[in-house]
Amino acid sequence: MSRLQIIRGLRSAHYSLQAILRLLRKLDQLPTDVITILNSPSNEEDVVTVTDRLIQSLLEAIQGAKSAIALFYEYKHLYERPH
């Protein structure tokens, strides 16, 4: 995959230019964990967009949804009427 295709794909996913630059700088190093690189901006970066932490935010949202479902079932069993 060419670097231009990588840039185009990541821009389409609304990653910041800083995140793409961070990835391209590390791309030649092996092994490269693309997801970690894209979603872990350093504290020294001036601009960090919401999408630079998108995967982490989605994982947290999924975990929150699972917790909410578990609580729902727990309370459902507490308040069920006996037949």
Counting beta carbons within 10 angstroms of the beta carbon of residue 7, is it exposed (0 to 12), middle (13 to 18) or buried (19 or more)? middle
Contact present, 25 and 38 (Cβ < 8 Å): no
Instruction: For CA atoms 57, 40, 52, 26, give the dihedral sign.
Output: negative
Domain locations in the chain as residue ranges: 3-79
Give pLDDT tens digits for 11-35.
888 888 888 888 888 887 777 777 7
- The pLDDT of residue 3 is 86
The pLDDT-based confidence of 45 (bands split at 50, 70, 90) is low
Alpha helix (H) residue ranges in 1-83:
3-12, 17-26, 34-38, 54-79
Asked whether the predicted pLDDT for residue 48 surpasses 60, the reply is: no
Residue type, 65: A
The pLDDT-based confidence of 46 (bands split at 50, 70, 90) is low
Give pLDDT tens digits for 51-81.
667 777 788 889 999 999 999 988 888 887 7
- Closest of 57, 58, 78 to residue 70, by C-alpha: 78
Q: How much is the pTM?
A: 0.50
Mean pLDDT of the region 33-54: 68
